[in-house]
């Protein structure tokens, strides 16, 4: 497993992202709030975390939903996965949406999302007149069926 040193700065009271178990791939990210925030059904909110990171060139961080919040309460990350580029130095904030049927309250310190740091690949496009043929071809949007 590759290890990567990433610099982090945090506001007073903020929680440094952490892995819940030794085999976790995502680190839990926590809210940093002065007051609880209640998200009504179909409402979206921007939740601060109080952390800023310096990701090395060639990597990105992805912000993803927490499965328990999504399954039990319908709370998910709206722009999943949210991308944090290597040159971003602002505070990480998470866009949450309530797709459930009841209001849900986020409190200071609650685990609201996961962050995964990944290698990236830079694409260099090569324009051609025709692409190689495949069995699937241009089929998409359910063309392979449910089974």
- 46-62 pLDDT, tens digit per residue, is 999 999 999 999 999 99
Number of C-beta neighbours around residue 116 at 10 A: 14
145 has a pLDDT exceeding 80 = no
Sign of CA dihedral 42, 45, 51, 56: positive
Name the token pair of 17. 């992202």
- 82-93 pLDDT, tens digit per residue, is 999 999 999 999
CATH of domain 7-119: 2.70.40.10
What is the rounded distance in angstroms from the CA atom of residue 28 to the CA atom of residue 18?
6
pTM to 2 decimal places: 0.88
């Amino acid at each position: 497993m590759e290890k990567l040193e990433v610099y982090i700065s945090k506001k007073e009271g903020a929680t440094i992202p952490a892995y819940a178990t030794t085999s976790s791939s995502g680190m839990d990210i926590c809210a940093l709030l002065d007051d609880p925030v209640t998200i009504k059904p179909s409402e979206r909110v921007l939740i601060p975390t109080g952390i800023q990171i310096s990701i090395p060139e060639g990597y990105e961080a992805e912000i993803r939903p927490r499965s328990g919040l999504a399954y039990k309460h319908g709370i998910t990350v709206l722009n999943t996965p949210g991308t944090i580029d290597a040159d971003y130095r602002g505070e990480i904030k998470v866009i949450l949406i309530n797709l459930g049927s009841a209001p849900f309250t986020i409190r200071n310190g609650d685990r609201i999302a996961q962050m995964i740091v990944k290698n990236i690949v830079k694409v260099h496009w090569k324009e051609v007149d025709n692409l190689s043929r495949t069995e699937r071809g241009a089929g998409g949007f359910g063309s392979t069926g449910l089974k």
